Structure 1
Amino acid sequence: MTPGSTLEFECLDSGSGHFSPDSTVDDIATLDFSKVNPVNGPIYVEGAKPGDALKVEILSFKPSGFGWTANIPGFGLLADQFKDPALTLWNYDATSLEPAAFGRHGRVPLKPFAGTIGLAPAEAGLHSVVPPRRMGGNLDIRDLAAGTTLYLPVEVEGALFSIGDTHAAQGDGEVCGTAIESQMNVAVKLDVVKDANLAMPRFTTPGPVTRHLDADGYEVTTGIGSDLMEGARAALSGMIDLLCATRGLSPEDAYMLCSVCGDLRISEIVDQPTGWSRSTSRASYSREKAQ
């Protein structure tokens, strides 16, 4: 493609369409992991060479109105504690993007974005799309939404751009391993920035990034540990306990809710050996349940 062109991609969800509105938790066992996290591409961008950056203007999303969140055994920040499969199905208004119902417990604010967006690495051979890399990939950064401009380091001629793994909503951390996984169309504009020499991806947002979450405030738990992973696990466990005690959720539902609308943040890192993290729940709960 010629630099400056606009493309629209029809992206499958991370399960390659495995789940439907009629799915049950039993369908997790038949998920084909060889087809997980499909991406659209690669797109050859004329004139892009190693040392350049690919400028990706994220223009718009056309969501499907259906999504899913799953606890997949062996996957997630608390995989040792949540060993059984669990599945939540979501139906939402693809036009208004009003908050999606989470059973009787509340409604989750939506913010569509592409979880996997990146370029080809210079190393020869086959490469998994699951881990993030210096040229992008499975970044799972929810701020890569409409209006954001992303810059990716080019390592091969033509850049070889790919995109997929679209989400209707996700908390920072995606702690159970899945967000609201949802098929949707994505429009982007691709251009080349010559001799940018980026070490890592960077991006610019068009404005505040949490406005869809701020209206009702937050519930916050904290964690302290000998490293950031230990602190993050402690903060998340505390939030799950809080949601179970005050909102009537099951532990599995609380875990998945944290994954789609709870944030893990590093609030203090310099006073070693203790690391601090916190988990913030950002769902808008029903007033009756909150009292």
Structure 2
Amino acid sequence: MTCPSYTIHSRNCHCGWNNAFPPAHTAEPGQTLTFECKDASGGYYTADSTSADVGGQDPATINPVTGPIIVDGAKPGDVLKITLESFAPSGFGWTAIIPGFGLLADQFQDARLHLWNYERDLTVPAMFGNHARVPLKPFTGTIGVAPAEPGTHSVIPPRRVGGNMDIRDLSAGSVLYLPVEVEGALLSIGDTHAAQGDGEVCGTAIESAMSVTVKIDLIKDQPLRFPRFETAGPVTRHIDCAGYDVTTGIGPDLMTACRDAVSGMIDLLGRSRKMSAEDAYMLCSVCGDLRISEIVDAPNWVVSFYVPRAVFA
């Protein structure tokens, strides 16, 4: 017998993780659910917002997630299998430089907001002013289950049970496996993005409200240390058609190397594309990929930052 589909409306949202939050629904393994997800600001930014609005939001309202959902029969030691079936984007999004947040927060201390309007059918890239056209690939930035530790925990850092992982490849067709720590699992989903580069270096992607349809399954008695996922690939087809410009950071500290690689790309985009540093930083966050290229030749490691030339075509 097929379980009927069910919609979890965005009014059923919460900020932070707490295994005492009341459930919005109880799902059966095998059921298909649609989560109506708010953007990371919870709707704070609108078409009339400006950079002056950045920083004015109550921190307690940031990154709401829809749920939680009890999965009938889920117990600690089980694995929740989540098949991401489809995304229905809203057509509106935002990217911001938020003071005190992001990989280069010390270098970018002034607020900046960019608003996006894009085709909901994703048939054309989203325009980044006159600078670039960013191909879209919707995914869920935050997806997780409740931790066993009591109390309310911030939704910002990712956790063993998932959460704010910001993995671009958790897109349609991917399958995510999460370790269950509490009875019922208590699944929540949110922080949906229309596009993002690996690393989300300025701290925000194309943050955009959308609905996410998933199928829930349960794997019994198969402990999992950390989340894992499957993706059919290829993972960069939407941008991998015109080559890349790449900068590197090299040294004994991976975080410093990351910062050097991204700073180098911002400088390069300023020279070659006549972009302001702020625009280059935001563009890097929504379509550039931060990668570890080498981590065995001690004492120095290599981090590379890739920006696809396709966005400038």
Fold shared per TM-score above 0.5? yes
Match of 1:167 among 186, 193, 197: 193
Cα distance in structure 1, aligned partners of 2:81 and 2:268: 42
Relative to structure 1, is the Cα distance of residues 184 and 283 closer, same or farther in structure 2, using a 3 angstrom cutoff? farther
Report deviation, 1:283: 5.4
**Contact 1:148-1:203 within 8 A present in 2 as well:** yes
> What are the residue-to-residue correspondences of 1:251-290 with 2, within 5 Å?
251-282=277-308, 284-287=310-313
Unaligned residue ranges in structure 2 (runs of 5+): 1-26
Work out whether 1:191 is the aligned partner of 2:217: yes
The residue number in structure 2 matching 1:25 is 51
Distance 1:30 1:126, change over 3 A: same
How much identity, in percent, do the aligned residues show? 66
Give the length in aligned residue pairs.
287
The 2-side partners of 1:177 and 1:100 are apart by: 19
Structure 1 stretches (4+) deviating beyond 4 angstroms? none
Counterpart for residue 146 of structure 1: 172
Match runs of 1:1-291 below 5 Å: 1-282=27-308, 284-287=310-313
Normalization by structure 1: what TM-score?
Answer: 0.97
Residue deviations 1:172-204 (CA, integer Å, cap 9, x gap): 000000000000011011110111211110001
Asked if structure 1 preserves the Cα contact closer than 8 Å seen for 2:76 and 2:182, the reply is yes
Separation in structure 2 between the aligned mates of residue 146 and residue 162 of structure 1, nearest angstrom: 17
2-structure distance, mates of 1:13, 1:97: 21
RMSD across aligned C-alpha pairs, in angstroms?
Answer: 1.0
* CA–CA distance in structure 2, aligned partners of residues 86 and 126 of structure 1: 30
Q: CA 1:158–1:281 in 2, change beyond 3 Å: closer, same or farther?
A: same
User: CA offsets, 1:3-26, max 9 Å, x none?
Assistant: 110110110000010111111101
Residue type at the aligned position of 1:259: S
After TM superposition, the score normalised by the length of structure 2 is: 0.90
SS at 1:207 equivalent: coil
TM-superposition CA deviations, 1:71-109 (whole Å, max 9, x none): 000000000000000111100000134210011112001
Q: Is the 8 A contact 1:227 1:273 kept in 2?
A: no
